[in-house]
Structure 1
Amino acid sequence: MVSGYAGRYNLLPVYDYLVERIRKYDNSTLIFYEPVTYGIFTPINPSGWLGTGFRRAPGANHDKSAPNKSVLSYHYYCWVLQTDYPNSTMPFWKKIICDSFLLPTVISNAIKATKITGGGRFLTEFGLCGDDGNPRSVNTLECNAVLDEADKHFESWTYWDGNFLDELGNPIKSEVIKF
C-alpha cells in the first residue's frame, strides 16, 4: 500500500469520524493520530503518493481549532538493524545509515508533516534497547542517537519496550532506572 494514498483516503476519513465522535463528549483532550508506519520514512508531499498523506489534521475539516488539539504520532526503528543482536557491536556503516541518514530524515519528515497539518508531534515508539553494559553495542548507540536527535529538535518521545518486568512481574531495575 502506498503510504500517502493510504493516509489521505483510508486513514484520514476514519480519523475524521473518530474525532467528530470524541469531540461530542470532550472538546479539549489531545487526540493522537498516526500515518502508515513507513510513511514517515518517505518524503512529505501532501499531494503525492508518499509521506503521511495528511493535508490537514484530523477533524480540521469541520473544526478549525482541531490542529491545536492534535498530535502526529510516529515511530522510528532503523530497518538495517532488524537482524542484528542488540548487544552486538554496531558496525560503523550501519551507524552511518541509521544515525546520519534515516533518523534525521524521519524527524525532519515529522516536522515537515506538522508544518502542513498543524498540531504537535510525538515520537511514540522507538527502543527495545536493553542495558547490556556495552557502550558500543547496537542497544546503546541506537538509543543514544534517537534521544540526542529528539532533544536536538525538542521532540516529545516515549520509549517502547515490552521487557520492563521479569517473569515474576517485578521491575527489571536496569531497564526502569533509565526513567
Structure 2
Amino acid sequence: MGVNPKSPNEFDEAHLSQLSIAVSMMENKGIYALLDCHQDVFSRFFCGEGLPDWAAKNLGNETLNRFPFPLPINFTREPDTGYPVLDDCLKHTFGQYYFTEGVVNGFKMLYTDGNGTLEAFATFWHKIASYFADQSSVLGYELINEPSFPALADVLQMGLVDQKYLAPMYKKLHEVIRKVDDKHLIFFEPCVFDVFQTGFTEGPGGKEYNNRQVFSYHDYCLDVTKQGDPQSDVLCELFDNALIYLRVKEARVKKFGGMMLTEFGGLSNSTKGVEELNRVTSIADDFLQSWTYWQFKKYADLTTSVRPATTESFYTDDGELELNKVQALSRSSAQAIA
C-alpha cells in the first residue's frame, strides 16, 4: 500500500495526488474508478503484495525469515530488503503461499488488531474516504481484495472466516468511512476460500445501507493452464454457472444490497481464452450482473498464475492490442438493454 508506506499515520500525499490525477484522467474519458485495496498473500515478504512493510515486520523477524514454512521450498533473499527473490517466488503458484505460517499469521494479526494493525487499516480507509469523498467519478471503495483465513482450521468450515473475522472488521471500516463519506458505495468480499457460500448475514452497514453497499465476488475457472487457456470447457462451464448462480441466490436471499462480479479473466487471447470470456459474461448477463475484467494491462503484477504476466492483459509484450479479448468484452450492459 503506497498510501502510508513508512508508518501508520504518515501518509504519502504525493502518492494520493497521483492517484487522484489517474481518477480524473479516467473521468475525462467517462470511466468510473473503483478504489480497491488490493492484496495477494499479504506482503512482499511472502512473495505477494499488499500491506506495507512496517505492518508485515510486526510479525517479527523469525516469522518473516521462516517463510515459506511449512512448504518445502528454499528461497534466496534480497540482501537490502529481506524479500524473497522474485524469480524464486515465481517458480511456484502464488496460491499455495496462503497456507504458509507467515501469511496465516498476517491475516490473524489484521483481523484481531494485533500490534494495532486493524486500527491502522481503519486509519488508512478514513484517509482514503476523506480524500475522495467529493470525487463523483469514484464508484466506491473495495475494503480488501481476496481476504484469506487466519488459521488453517478456520478454512474447513465454509463461511466461518466471514462470520467470525471479516464481518466485524467490515463493520468497523464501514463506520470509519461513513464518518467522512456517506455517499460512495462500499464493496465487501468474502474469504477467498469461501467459494460457493459465505458466512455473511448482511452487508457491513446493515439493511439501512443496502443502496450504498455492494457484495463483491470473483470468478476464475480453476482448470486453466499457465498460458491462460482453459483445459476443459465442461469443467469451466460447470464451475462458472454454479458460482455465479449461488452468489446471486445468496445475495438476494440475504439482501446484501447491490452485487458485482469485480474480477474474472486472467486469460489468453486464444480461442479457448475467448470462449471462457464469452461464457462468464453471458452467465453474468443472464443475472444482470455488472463485471470488471482482470486486467487492463501489466502493472508489475507479482501474483498472477499465468506467464508471461502480459498474457492476462489487453496488450502483448510489445504493446500490440489483443483484439480477440477486446472484442469479446465489448458488450452492451445487460441492465441497460434488458
TM-score bracket, normalised by the shorter chain, equals 0.7 to 0.9
Which one has the largest radius of gyration? 2
Query: Is 1:76 the counterpart of 2:76 in the alignment?
Result: no
> Shift of the alpha carbon at 1:54?
0.3
> Shift of the alpha carbon at 1:150?
0.7
Match of 1:147 in 2: 281
Match of 1:114 in 2: 251
In structure 2, relative to structure 1, the CA distance for the partners of 1:142 and 1:70 (3 Å cut) is: same
Give percent identity, aligned residues only. 33
Once residues 118 and 10 of structure 1 are traced to their aligned partners in structure 2, the CA distance between those partners, rounded to angstroms, is 18
In structure 2, relative to structure 1, the CA distance for the partners of 1:32 and 1:166 (3 Å cut) is: same
> Shift of the alpha carbon at 1:171?
6.6
Q: Give the 5 Å matches for 1:25-64.
A: 25-39=180-194, 41-42=195-196, 51-60=197-206, 64=207
Once residues 322 and 239 of structure 2 are traced to their aligned partners in structure 1, the CA distance between those partners, rounded to angstroms, is 31
Once residues 140 and 166 of structure 1 are traced to their aligned partners in structure 2, the CA distance between those partners, rounded to angstroms, is 16
Which amino acid is 1:72 matched to?
F
Once residues 71 and 20 of structure 1 are traced to their aligned partners in structure 2, the CA distance between those partners, rounded to angstroms, is 15
Q: Give the 5 Å matches for 1:7-22.
A: 7-22=162-177
Give the conservation status (yes or no) of the 8 Å contact 2:215–2:256. no
What SS does the corresponding residue of 1:156 show, helix, strand or coil? coil
What SS does the corresponding residue of 1:31 show, helix, strand or coil? strand
**TM-score, normalised on structure 2?**
0.42
Cα shift readout 1:43-90 (whole Å, capped 9, x = no counterpart): xxxxxxxx2110011121xxx4122211011010111x2336435xx6
Give the conservation status (yes or no) of the 8 Å contact 2:203–2:213. yes
Cα shift readout 1:3-46 (whole Å, capped 9, x = no counterpart): 4000001101110000000111111211000001232x32xxxx
Compare relative contact order (CA 8 Å, sep 6+) and give the higher one, 1 or 2. 1
Once residues 69 and 7 of structure 1 are traced to their aligned partners in structure 2, the CA distance between those partners, rounded to angstroms, is 20
Once residues 236 and 316 of structure 2 are traced to their aligned partners in structure 1, the CA distance between those partners, rounded to angstroms, is 30
Once residues 202 and 228 of structure 2 are traced to their aligned partners in structure 1, the CA distance between those partners, rounded to angstroms, is 38
Which amino acid is 1:86 matched to?
G
CA RMSD of aligned residues (A): 2.2
Q: Moved runs in structure 1, 4+ residues, more than 4 A?
A: 165-168, 175-179
Give the conservation status (yes or no) of the 8 Å contact 1:3–1:36. no
Match of 2:239 in 1: 102
Once residues 142 and 68 of structure 1 are traced to their aligned partners in structure 2, the CA distance between those partners, rounded to angstroms, is 31
Once residues 142 and 164 of structure 1 are traced to their aligned partners in structure 2, the CA distance between those partners, rounded to angstroms, is 15
What SS does the corresponding residue of 2:161 show, helix, strand or coil? helix
Give the conservation status (yes or no) of the 8 Å contact 2:188–2:216. yes
Match of 2:321 in 1: 172
**TM-score, normalised on structure 1?**
0.76
**Which runs of 5 or more residues in structure 2 are unaligned?**
1-154, 299-312, 331-338
Once residues 172 and 83 of structure 1 are traced to their aligned partners in structure 2, the CA distance between those partners, rounded to angstroms, is 22
> Shift of the alpha carbon at 1:113?
2.2
What SS does the corresponding residue of 1:28 show, helix, strand or coil? coil
